[in-house]
Structure 1
Amino acid sequence: MYPQTHAYFAQRVCGEISEALALGSIFPDMVAALTPGRDESHGRGGQLLNALGEDPEMRDFALGVLTHGTSPEGLDYYGDEKYLHHERGYCFEKGRPLVQETIRACNLPAAMGWWKSHNIVEMGIELHIGGHKSPWGEILRKALENERLLTKISRLVAPVYAVDPRRLYQRMHNFSYYIEIDRITPRNLAVKYDVQMFYKHHIHIDIERTARLIASAREMVTADLEHFFTYVEKQVLKTMEALGRPGLRP
């Protein structure tokens, strides 16, 4: 999922939002470029909570990471890996009808079509959740500009992932260059997706065609998105309960 969606979901689970919680909710995607794989970037929420949970601000951060990850199962598990009885997660399943148009709009080899169509669905969800002056975009922007908090997280969290604190700080500080944070429109999402695609794959997309596809993805998810969030919220709350619900707000 995309940043505002993760911040929105973290607030649903935890009852309110803070800058630390918002940063935690997007942190697995920020640290992913510095880790060997998804198991590392999306699988350390429980470890962070155990290591840092005595500090209220870092507890919020760790709870945000937990709401995002794949192990324990957070939003990305149900969005990407497995949802209900389906083969894959919600975003992959919703992306099936968009595969061919995604291949054309994003200049992709066929093998990448389903993978990238799930990104289109994620951006459609981001468009549904976010927008101009949304509370989640505003708090994410403030959090990413909070040098004190970025420095603290870099210092305390880097050892858990065995990365250089300076590299982690730079990754968080520069994250909004790669992904749209608070100006959510189909075209803005597509422009940043072009940056991501060139950075990862040396591919440039058709921005206008991709923007139209993102807008259509938003319409596709409208009918059952709330059902998805409600189901995942219940599952993540069960995970929190299994961990003793440390720091979870009533």
Structure 2
Amino acid sequence: MEGLKMKKSKISASMMCADLINLKETIEIFEKERVDYLHIDVMDGEFVPNFGLGVDYIRGLRELTSIPLDIHLMVKDPEYKLQWIGIKETDIVSIHYESTYQVQRVLDWLVPFGCKRFLAINPATPIYVLEEVLDYIDGINLLMVNPGFAGQKIVPSTLEKARKLKVFLTEHGKESIIVEVDGNITPENGNTLRKLGAGIFVAGTSSIFHGDVVQYQMNIEKFREAIR
């Protein structure tokens, strides 16, 4: 996975963890600290047992900042909902392997948007499901918790799964595919996963969104040092 190790690690701030009251101040801190992406969990209450950030929230964020969005679609049958979102070329869009019978078709339907195409897989989904779509994706969003709620603890087996994924991509000559890790990414877990080839780290309550908003700058600096 040498190709990934040579690339700078990136932070994707999980906006479902943000305090709406201090949203503008939070965004200003993220811009100052050069946070790479804003992670947007779109949840429909059907694919996952929760409702999450929607199209109006996405539209409002775009008016606040030019930081690219990392849009994580936790919705059933995403192929019929892509047009609602206002996807930009600078975005990452993750669709779930488990959310549709037409995985390859959804990835194809993302092409006209010009965004980076990621495939997300849940903790219990084996990595071999990726084999037939490796030519259609720019990245893999490896869920380290079961999706739907912030504040969960990492599923222990996902650390071994990350190691297997590193080997899997190397064996298939796909070292250039980006690995994103999402769920309870503490500085310690982030450091471990960086060594296993992860390139994008979703940062939530376990890393940057804890304490008062004035602490976020220090939290980001500590987290960035851990995943360097």
**What is the TM-score when the length of structure 2 is the normalising length?**
0.29
Judging by fraction of residues, say which structure has more strand: 2
Judging by fraction of residues, say which structure has more helix: 1
**What is the TM-score when the length of structure 1 is the normalising length?**
0.27
